[in-house]
Amino acid sequence: MDIFSPIESIKRISPAYQKRLQKLGVKTLRDLFYHFPFRYDDFSIIKPIAQLKLNEVATIQGEIIDIKNTRTWKKRMFITEAYIQDQTGIIRAVWFNQPFLINTLKIGQIVSVSGKVNFDKTLYFSNPAHERLFAIDSQLRHTGGLIPIYQETTGLTSRWLRYIIKPLLPKFVSQLKDFLPLEIKRSQSLLDLGKAIEQIHFPKTEKNIQTARRRLAFDELFLIQLFVLQQKLKWQKQKALIINFDRQLIKNFVDSLPFKLTNAQRKSAWEILQDLEKSKPMNRLLEGDVGSGKTVVAVMAMLQAAKAGFQVALMAPTEILAQQHFKEVVKLLKGQNITAGLLTGNQASVNNNFVIPAHEPESRSGSRVPACRTGRKPGMTKKILLSQISSNQIQVLIGTHALIQETVRFNNLVLVIVDEQHRFGVAQRAALQKNVASIKDGSINTIPHLLSMTATPIPRTLALSIYGDLDISLLNEMPKGRQEIITKIVAPTDRNKAYEFIRQQIKEDRQVFVICPRIESQTSNGYGNEARIVESQTSDVTSSRNEPRGRQTLNDRRNWDDVKAVKEEYEKLHKIIFPDLKIAMLHGKLKPKEKEKIMTDFKAGETDILVSTSVVEVGVDIPNATVMMIEGAERFGLAQLHQFRGRVGRGQHQSYCFLFTESSSKNTNARLKALISCKNGFELAEKDLEIRGPGEFYGSKQWGLPDLSMASLTDFSLVKNVRQEAQKLILKDSELKNCPLLKKALERFQENVHLE
């Protein structure tokens, strides 16, 4: 047996436990050692029985002088009672529904018992941890120290894991090859790997835990850094076409704008345009708060590329966002003699003059069925649009995932822009860059420049690590004249006051958003013990994992009784609260044409209130909307709430965001108050990371990152040190030829993570 032996080869692990371990991702002995505790019970205070105090957590050691099982009459529950004696006194230990203990704990045995001291006529232990002592110097696993608590699964407890891991560690931990270079361990004062593994599982002191965690977290973050830095080097070795900077073109464009660019917009545009002049492909993230003006910066890059005779593709995650970009880009490029196209799964359009349902069947001749045509240019089909793309008649193409279909072929695509980039997987972005975007300049294969955009500001530790392969441009200024949005948490008792305020706003010709977490409320199965969650429309990764999935228990259903469903909210507002107002409903299950009409009517002022799911989170620009009312605000992540809030305050009038919640949780209150106190997304992102932690903030499942590295993403000092060490090593040995163990560890790490 060695460190990479499968768990099936460990004699003490039965087939039943092998299956349970595999549920936790433990397949080898190494996996078992890397299944780290997530917390520790402190049972390190060992006391004589006579010195025990009420409510303290302590350990006693003594002889069992009596033990018996009884059964309660009402609940039919087993109670196991044992009396334990040392030289100073006697104490009772009670276990509930564990009658089997009477077969393992016998009168006359010496035991160690740890737990909280309770009182019922006399002091006693309730459900304490316990283990037999076979000698005075017996090694303790479950009591009498810092006891590791692990992630568990049905039928597999932390007690069992301690029982298995402790005897295996001294035999096999030395086989773990320490892949970290010696000079890095010395410069960062890090433990040897084997020592860190031993200490993380069975520490003697709190300091042991801290030093072990630091070493193991350093390892994980270091591997992340090496991965992203190697990706950056590979990217920079690629070739891209040079787009020369046309100063007069950009100056004329900026001068023609009806508003003045912020300094941040000017700086970001300059960084992007400089990147386009290089023969290595740009890989830049344009990171800006809601309403900071990312689109106009991206359009400057589009204009530069299109006027140089090249093509540009902009990919958005939703149809609504793609349509919004299309309209905005067409407006900004008006008079530039540039043809822009829109392609989604449901429609094709050029310069906003006509729209063709992209999914309509074609006749044998290739034209659409006449009855299905809309718009002013008869005969236009998706097939013709694709032909225009491949023949370079379309300079700017905007769309959804439809852009990466095999049928889409560009003539000379030179710039790819991906909006809300964290919503696309690496494979999708690669498909757009490689499969449909590869072009040739003579004999040199080139790939397009890549500009990613996000309206969700990234905390600096994540920017240094997960996004370490990107150059980042920040839009940290808001356009002049933009008013601060007044944000308030509305108590249930003040709901009617909020409704009256909304009515007053509508009387002043303003409009209102109402956001709900779901389309329909859950329905009982008739027996009252289960509920069905119909749909969650939350698309932001920072909040969607907080929502229940699939079938729920009765308790879950009760917890969700206060969740406002869009359809119910629409009916209530339409029939009871505002029967005299024009109210519309929007959600993800509507057909694209229905969504488009609803949004068009709302933008035209024909609707007073739009009740919606989170489909309006990004890309919706309604300058006349002044109130954002969010039901069940605690169900959304802070970043998503900030996105919702950014849908208002885009015009000249004072705007408001009302957060409705029935929750009395302190954590919920702290999060929502952070939304009030933090005035920009950058500040809010740091606060959200601090409150919820990285695992919940971004989702460890999304990336597949280990818990330790996720937790360490809040430690800016550690992340910075890791980054510096990784950069130094990559500069000296980019392919890790002199570090074979490290290279192998990195390969193994890449198999388990998927950084997006």
Q: What is the pLDDT of residues 423-457, one digit of tens each?
A: 555 555 566 555 444 444 444 578 889 998 887 77
Query: Which of 687, 699, 317 lies closest to 541, judged by CA?
Result: 699
Whole-number pLDDT of residue 433: 57
pLDDT tens digits, one per residue of 123-152: 999 999 999 998 656 678 899 899 999 989
What's the rounded mean pLDDT across residues 176-186? Answer: 95
Lowest mean pLDDT among 527-531, 611-615, 620-624, 743-747: 527-531
Which amino acid is located at 576 in the chain? I
Residue type, 40: Y
Token pair belonging to 320: 């609504």
| Phi, psi torsion values for 459, nearest 5 degrees | -55, 150
Pairing of strands 551-553, 146-149: unpaired
Q: How far apart are CA 741 and CA 182, in angstroms?
A: 12
Within 86-235, strands assigned E span 90-96, 110-120, 122-126, 129-132, 146-149
Q: Are 188 and 686 in contact (CB under 8 A)?
A: no
Residues 271, 473 contacting (CB under 8 angstroms): yes
Q: What is the pLDDT of residue 136?
A: 58
Structure tokens that stand for 345 in this block: 């799964």
- Per-residue model confidence (pLDDT) at position 634: 86
Q: Which tokens go with 312?
A: 């540009």
Q: Which of these, 730, 623, 594, lies nearest to 258 by C-alpha position? A: 623
- DSSP letter at 703 equals H
Residue 524: pLDDT over 60: no
CA atoms within 13 A on the CB side of 407: 13
Helix (H) or strand (E) holding 18: helix 15-23
Rounded Cα distance between 194 and 198, Å, is 6
Which residues on neighbouring strands pair with residue 146, listed in sequence order? 42
pLDDT at residue 5, as a whole number: 93
Whether the pLDDT of residue 535 is over 50: the answer is no
Tokens describing residue 734 = 């980019």
In the prediction, which pLDDT does 81 show? 95
Q: Using one digit for the tens of pLDDT, what is the confidence trace for 657-709?
A: 999 988 878 778 888 888 888 877 788 878 777 776 655 555 444 455 566 66
Phi, psi of 59 (to 5 degrees): -125, 135
- Residue 603 CA to residue 586 CA, distance in Å, equals 13
H/E stretch holding 161 reads helix 158-172
At 288 the pLDDT is: 85
Does residue 480 have a pLDDT over 90? Answer: no
Per-residue model confidence (pLDDT) at position 72: 85
pLDDT band at residue 616 using 50, 70 and 90 as cut-offs? low
**Residue 204, both tokens:** 């003697």
Which range among 371-380, 567-576, 602-611, 657-666 shows the weakest confidence by mean pLDDT?
A: 371-380
Please state, rounded to an integer, the average pLDDT across all residues of the chain. Answer: 82
Q: What is the pLDDT of residues 288-317, one digit of tens each?
A: 887 788 999 999 999 999 999 999 999 988
pLDDT at 431: 63
Q: Identify which has the larger pLDDT, 635 or 214.
A: 214
Instruction: Please say whether the beta carbons of 751 and 229 come within 8 A.
Output: no
Strand 39-42 relative to strand 146-149, pairing: antiparallel
Angle at 530 between CA 525 and CA 535, to 5 degrees: 85
Q: Is the pLDDT of residue 518 over 90?
A: no
Residue holding tokens 């704008």?
A: 257
State the pLDDT at residue 382.
80
Pairing state of beta strands 340-343 and 347-350? antiparallel
Q: Taking 90 as the threshold, does the pLDDT of residue 410 lie above it? A: no
Pairing of strands 625-630, 656-660: parallel
314-361 per-position pLDDT tens digit? 998 888 788 888 988 999 998 899 999 998 877 777 875 444 444 444
Band the pLDDT of 618: cuts 50, 70, 90. low
Closest CA to 747 of 226, 165, 176, 96: 226
SS3 360: coil
Strand order in the sheet with 551-553: 523-524, 530-532, 551-553
- The answer to whether 443 and 409 are in contact (CB under 8 A) is no
pLDDT at residue 269, as a whole number: 96
User: Could you give the CA distance from residue 697 to residue 121 in angstroms, rounded to a whole number?
Assistant: 47
207 has a pLDDT exceeding 90: yes
Residue 737 phi/psi, 5-degree rounding, is: -65, -30
**What's the confidence (pLDDT) of residue 458?**
79
Please name the amino acid found at residue 276: L
Rounded CA-CA distance 338/330 in Å is 9
